[in-house]
Amino acid sequence: MTVIDGRGVTRVLRALHAAGSMSRSDLGSATGLNRSTVASLVAELVEAGIVEEGAGAGGTVGRPSLMVSAVPDSLAVIGWDLRVDSSSAVVEGFGGRILHRWRKDHRRGSTDPYEVAARVVTGSSEIAEELPDHVIIAGIGCAMPGVIDPGGEPPRTTIHRAPSLGWVDVPFGVILGEAMRERFGAHVPVLLGNDAKLGAMAEWTRGAGRDSRAMVFVSGDVGIGGGVIVEGELLTGASGYAGEIGHLRFDPEGPVCRCGARGCWETAIGINTIVRSAGMDPVAAGITDVMRASTQGDAASANALANAARAVGQGLASVVNLVNPDTVVLAGHLAELLGTYKHTIVEELRFTLSRDSTHIDVVKPELGADSIVIGAAELAFERALSSPARALAEAVSLRTE
């Protein structure tokens, strides 16, 4: 049996996971490994069945270079985006290909941790039924609307605080791991991450932030989350909640926020605020309803959207002064707002110290609505690729018969 472990192989696997497919020489420059090391590692990985080699495009004329490619269904993970009113999942294969998607809405569903875990277990079982028999799952990553304890035991399995779920210090990763073991009779590693931070990481590696040096990701929903990445490093802070830009003080006279403070940015731009200002009920209506009413001439809706867009730009100006990003990604309902009100939002950035605010790209996520769920899958992959031999040995099919 081959022993595929060690830092060199992890570097090769990470590069292939990010790119999907590369020539041997590109793999060498991406990993800093010499030709013969790359050749022997690739040979081992081919034998293990997780990469394959074949003629690819490019190379010198008449002599196509040999391409090393990830085999997507040789190793997979499930990424979950667990929200208050919906759960969605993707099965991501090695090399970044999405093998399967799953989604369920549960308006005002229970937020009891055991019931949320049961939802994930049932969903995982439904997902497994749709996958080919040979696909094995090396882990589960969950994006959660809350602050994750970066330490904890085991690390990244405890939610320190999730106001929208009403959770304080809930060891959800352990609860879910036990529920998975009970259902599938196997240990499936579970890691938790903050939703906006995972979205930021996914956009950085696979989306709008690919060429960025400093990027701010703002996720919009009932709450406003944030992720700040500078030179590839995600800002986490001393205990994990750096980048919680939704709770920057925006209006000292504003309404009380879910966090207990007054006038946080999310009380001005959160989706419920916009829907309510448009005279609609947040339980029944969403941003698309407000947009539609606005285009049909409803003045309250038009006002609500314009005010929110201004507030987005004003709050962003503070963030821009703090971080000096070249790219700002607005996700969720803020992406929809950006579609119509980009001018209003960018206009407010003129007061920042940036010499020319037009040099800041304010964009929608390139991964669309998938950034967060893909970030969750990447979290699980990160663990798997740090110790591929262990990951391959532990990975299981979640099919029960």
Torsion of CA 277, 279, 284, 288, to 10 degrees: -60
Q: Which two tokens stand for residue 152?
A: 């904890």
Closest distance between Zn ion and the C-beta of residue 268, in Å? 11
d(CA 50, CA 287): 43
Query: Which listed residue (156, 197, 247, 364) binds Zn ion by CB under 5 A?
Result: 247
d(CA 391, CA 253): 52
d(CA 137, CA 188): 8
Smaller CB distance to Zn ion: residue 261 or 306? 261
Residues in the chain: 401
Phi, psi of 141 (to 5 degrees): -115, 135
Closest distance between Zn ion and the C-beta of residue 245, in Å? 10
Closest distance between Zn ion and the C-beta of residue 269, in Å? 12
Residue 242 interacts with Zn ion (CB under 5 A)? no
Helices first, then strands: H and E counts in the chain: 13, 16
CA-atom Rg of the chain in angstroms:
22
Q: Do residues 137 and 154 make contact, with C-beta atoms less than 8 angstroms apart?
A: no
Please identify, among the stretches 41-49, 245-253, 292-300, 372-380, the one whose residues bind Zn ion according to the rule CB under 5 A: 245-253
Please identify, among the stretches 12-20, 153-161, 243-251, 375-383, the one whose residues bind Zn ion according to the rule CB under 5 A: 243-251
Residue 317 interacts with Zn ion (CB under 5 A)? no
Residue 264 interacts with Zn ion (CB under 5 A)? yes
Smaller CB distance to Zn ion: residue 230 or 259? 259
Torsion of CA 346, 347, 350, 355, to 10 degrees: 50
Residue 257 interacts with Zn ion (CB under 5 A)? yes
d(CA 214, CA 330): 15
Smaller CB distance to Zn ion: residue 231 or 253? 253
Closest distance between Zn ion and the C-beta of residue 195, in Å? 16
Closest distance between Zn ion and the C-beta of residue 261, in Å? 5
Q: Do residues 145 and 221 make contact, with C-beta atoms less than 8 angstroms apart?
A: yes
Smaller CB distance to Zn ion: residue 164 or 397? 164
Closest distance between Zn ion and the C-beta of residue 249, in Å? 9
Smaller CB distance to Zn ion: residue 146 or 152? 146
Closest distance between Zn ion and the C-beta of residue 308, in Å? 17
Question: Nearest CA to 163 among 141, 146, 181, 188?
Answer: 146
What is the footprint of Zn ion within residues 222-241 (CB under 5 A)?
Answer: none
Residue 259 interacts with Zn ion (CB under 5 A)? yes
Q: State the number of binding residues for Zn ion (CB under 5 A).
A: 5
Residue 85 C-alpha from the chain's centroid: 18
Name the residue type at position 255. P
Q: Which two tokens stand for residue 338?
A: 């950006």
Please identify, among the stretches 2-10, 115-123, 253-261, 293-301, the one whose residues bind Zn ion according to the rule CB under 5 A: 253-261
Please identify, among the stretches 82-90, 260-268, 291-299, 359-367, the one whose residues bind Zn ion according to the rule CB under 5 A: 260-268
Residue 248 interacts with Zn ion (CB under 5 A)? no
Q: Which residues bind Zn ion (CB under 5 A)?
A: 247, 257, 259, 261, 264
